[in-house]
Amino acid sequence: MSSIVAVGSLAFDSIETPFGKVGKILGGSANHFSLSASYFTPVKCISVVGEDYPKDHLEELKSRRIDLTGVKVSPGKTFHWSGKYGYDLHEATTLETHLNVFEHFSPEVPASYRDSSFLFLGNIFPALQKQVLGHLPQARFVALDTMNFWIESQREGLIDVLGKVNCLIINEAELRQLTKTHNVVKAAAQVQSWGPSLVVVKRGEYGALLFNGQEAFSLPGLPLSEVKDPTGAGDSFAGGFLGYLAAQGNPQPDRVSLRQAVVYGSVMASFIVEDFGCHQLLKISKDKISERFQKFRDLTHFQ
Amino acid sequence: MSSIVAVGSLAFDSIETPFGKVGKILGGSANHFSLSASYFTPVKCISVVGEDYPKDHLEELKSRRIDLTGVKVSPGKTFHWSGKYGYDLHEATTLETHLNVFEHFSPEVPASYRDSSFLFLGNIFPALQKQVLGHLPQARFVALDTMNFWIESQREGLIDVLGKVNCLIINEAELRQLTKTHNVVKAAAQVQSWGPSLVVVKRGEYGALLFNGQEAFSLPGLPLSEVKDPTGAGDSFAGGFLGYLAAQGNPQPDRVSLRQAVVYGSVMASFIVEDFGCHQLLKISKDKISERFQKFRDLTHFQ
């Protein structure tokens, strides 16, 4: 079993969907990723919070084998994002972004993190992703997430750091935007030509698609009768995906492990969308994860 | 092995997509359905064409064990539809509809068709679907397709005929429209409450979702690097789906047969979208169908 180093945001989210509205709940990519991955393996987190960030949540994270040595508490306020979704829940409209302490975030990698072979570069400024990567020379399985904001403003920097990672995890619309290509098969091949042999395409309720070299694996989403808020689904997916692989311990995972990692990612995402915020991720169990893994098998196998 | 009775249109299509433009090619639900299903089992077709419909295509259909006893040649012109698609290819914008001989179509069921136990009610006026059904008292597996036009103008009539069929095959957006429900799980349950225990939701490039009583089966679409025109994909799907079931001969198919039928439907749909018109359906082979069935297995299984 290997641990995972994860860099990303710890934040407050204010969210409105057709199914409800919440203010200043706990969010951020590092939060959702770490909670999700911690069901599989220990996580070493790199992030920054302000003085207003709840101490009890930091304690909660620590109690779940999430190492916070790399989380800095800075003077000022925590990053706060406000967004809104329509019925289709595929894309958020950002209402407000207060970067606060995140504005001057310069991730530092504690010495105790440096022997990690699994690394998750959450959705932050590509140059900072590159900086973290540079401090972890032993990282052998590196996955990167990004979003439309960086694709628009930092496309060259993003393509540069992609040359150094094994796996890109990205929304379908953002894959099209990044590659300027509509067809997903061609778009994934374009990304592979920049470096990563693995491209995981997140398709919301339609599931996820993995391109592994020349071969593809596609997993539909679990049909759910309650979906309230998709915020954090992508990071929960990444947590399950990398968490499972790191728990297996092999930074050169085989074909079947990668497929099963996509299923575990989808399992974790399926929990978080059922309600607002991250508390779904606080109350599940390994049994529930196994049960839902089996549900995906029942949903998809035909022979 | 049972044959299938299919009612629907034989038409000319003029189509524009971002990948090309074609005028007056052979289309219509009965054409695509029959060609697709005929790879699995004999089809008995009910439709109408005008005097301008090419005789050699009628001969082509006949040569493929498609019985045209129920196809009337009426004075006047054949139904002609013109439509346009954008990049996402999920929904056509109708540019022109010339019903022509289809305007006064009153389907007649030849005596030689009346012992069929499989029936496909293609996308036509719901009252005509009901009329055909009334003439086939021995039909024990009845599937119905429909579209937004009928949902808007004939919702009550459609719900009425749904009470008499086993299976609804419908696009996802149209399922939402029909049930006035966004959530697909709830929408399918609503349809089941009206009659059909089977609901097949077509999701374009995202595949298909089968609700069979309480259980669900989901098959993603095959990632294709060339998709030119989705016209006829739904009817080709229905042809593979019903064709496979009728070839098995059991009008009360078991769970696994229904799942495999969804795969065969998706196989047939995956061929037709690769080019304009129906000629993809004229040149495939049973071997290519088996090969693509296997591709779906390779794409989806993880254990």
Nearest-5° Cα angle at B291, B286 to B295: 145
Return the percentage of chain A with pLDDT > 70, whole number: 100
Structurally, chain B folds into a number of domains equal to: 1
Assess whether pLDDT exceeds 90 at residue A92.
no
Mean pLDDT across A175-190: 97
Coil, strand or helix at B161: helix
Work out the minimum CA distance from A257 to partner chain B, whole angstroms: 9
| pLDDT score for B82 | 93
The span from the CA of A231 to the CA of A275, in Å, is 10
Q: Count Cβ atoms within 10 A of the Cβ of residue B63 and give its class: 0-12 exposed, 13-18 middle, 19 or more buried.
A: exposed
Which residues in chain A (87-106) have CB-CB distances under 8 A to chain B?
Answer: 87
- Structure tokens of A102? 């995140």
Assess whether pLDDT exceeds 80 at residue A11.
yes
Q: How many Å separate Cα A281 from the centre of its chain? A: 14
Inspect the interface and report whether the beta carbons of B218 and A221 lie closer than 8 Å.
Answer: yes
On whether any CB of chain B is under 8 Å from the CB of A255, the answer is: no
Inspect the interface and report whether the beta carbons of B227 and A184 lie closer than 8 Å.
Answer: no
Q: Which residues of B touch A256 (CB under 8 A)?
A: 302-303
| pLDDT score for B90 | 76
The span from the CA of A97 to the CA of A79, in Å, is 8
Q: Where does residue B76 fall: left (phi above 0), alpha (psi -120 to 50 degrees), or beta otherwise? A: left
- Structure tokens of B213? 């009583």
| pLDDT score for B86 | 86
| Parallel, antiparallel or unpaired: strands A198-202 and A167-171 | parallel
By the 8 A CB rule, do B192 and B159 touch? no
By the 8 A CB rule, do B251 and B118 touch? yes
The span from the CA of A278 to the CA of A264, in Å, is 17
Residue range(s) defining the domain that contains residue A284: 4-86+93-300
Burial string for B105-143 (b: 16+ CB within 10 Å, else e) reads: bebebeeebeebbbbbbbbbbbebbbbbbebbeebebbb
| pLDDT score for A156 | 97
Q: Which residues of B touch A203 (CB under 8 A)?
A: 206
Q: What is the three-state SS of B31-98? A: HHHHHHHCCCCCEEEEEEECCCCCHHHHHHHHHCCEEEEEEEECCCCCCEEEEECCCCCCCCEEEEEE
Mean pLDDT across A63-89: 94
| pLDDT score for A247 | 98
One-letter amino acid for residue A206 of the chain: Y
For CA atoms A29, A35, A40, A43, give the dihedral sign: positive
Q: What is the three-state SS of A164-183? A: CCCEEEEEHHHHHHHHCCCC
Alpha carbon distances (Å) from A184 to A196, A202, A208, A266, B39: 15, 11, 12, 19, 30
Question: Closest Cα partner for A151 from A166, A172, A134, A120?
Answer: A172
Considering only CB atoms, B218 lies closest to which of A185, A220, A263, namely A220
Mean pLDDT across A152-181: 97
Mean pLDDT across A163-182: 96
Mean pLDDT across A49-54: 97
Q: Count Cβ atoms within 10 A of the Cβ of residue B226 and give its class: 0-12 exposed, 13-18 middle, 19 or more buried.
A: exposed
Question: Closest Cα partner for A237 from A172, A299, A151?
Answer: A172
Inspect the interface and report whether the beta carbons of A223 and B209 lie closer than 8 Å.
Answer: yes
| Parallel, antiparallel or unpaired: strands B43-49 and A167-171 | unpaired
Report chain B (303 residues): mean pLDDT per 10 consecutive residues: 96 92 94 98 98 97 97 97 86 89 94 96 96 96 95 97 98 96 96 98 97 97 93 96 98 98 98 90 96 98 94
The span from the CA of A61 to the CA of A227, in Å, is 25
By the 8 A CB rule, do B161 and B122 touch? no
| pLDDT score for B243 | 98
Inspect the interface and report whether the beta carbons of B299 and A223 lie closer than 8 Å.
Answer: no
Band of pLDDT at residue A279, cut at 50, 70 and 90: confident
Assess whether pLDDT exceeds 80 at residue A62.
yes
The span from the CA of B129 to the CA of A162, in Å, is 55
| pLDDT score for B83 | 92
Assess whether pLDDT exceeds 90 at residue A173.
yes
On whether any CB of chain A is under 8 Å from the CB of B236, the answer is: no
* Summary mean pLDDT of chain A: 95
Alpha carbon distances (Å) from B276 to A268, B238, B262: 40, 18, 23
- Structure tokens of A145? 């997430």
Inspect the interface and report whether the beta carbons of B215 and A298 lie closer than 8 Å.
Answer: yes
The span from the CA of B130 to the CA of B158, in Å, is 9
| pLDDT score for B92 | 84
The span from the CA of B191 to the CA of B198, in Å, is 9
Residue B22 maps to which CATH number? Answer: 3.40.1190.20
On whether any CB of chain A is under 8 Å from the CB of B300, the answer is: yes
Instruction: Collect all residues with Cβ–Cβ distance below 8 Å to B8 and sequence separation of at least 6.
Output: B28, B29, B30, B31, B33, B46, B47, B120, B122, B123, B124, B235
Q: How many Å separate Cα A171 from the centre of its chain? A: 11
Question: Closest Cα partner for A6 from A129, A161, A146, A184?
Answer: A129
Work out the minimum CA distance from A130 to partner chain B, whole angstroms: 31
Return the percentage of chain A with pLDDT > 90, whole number: 91
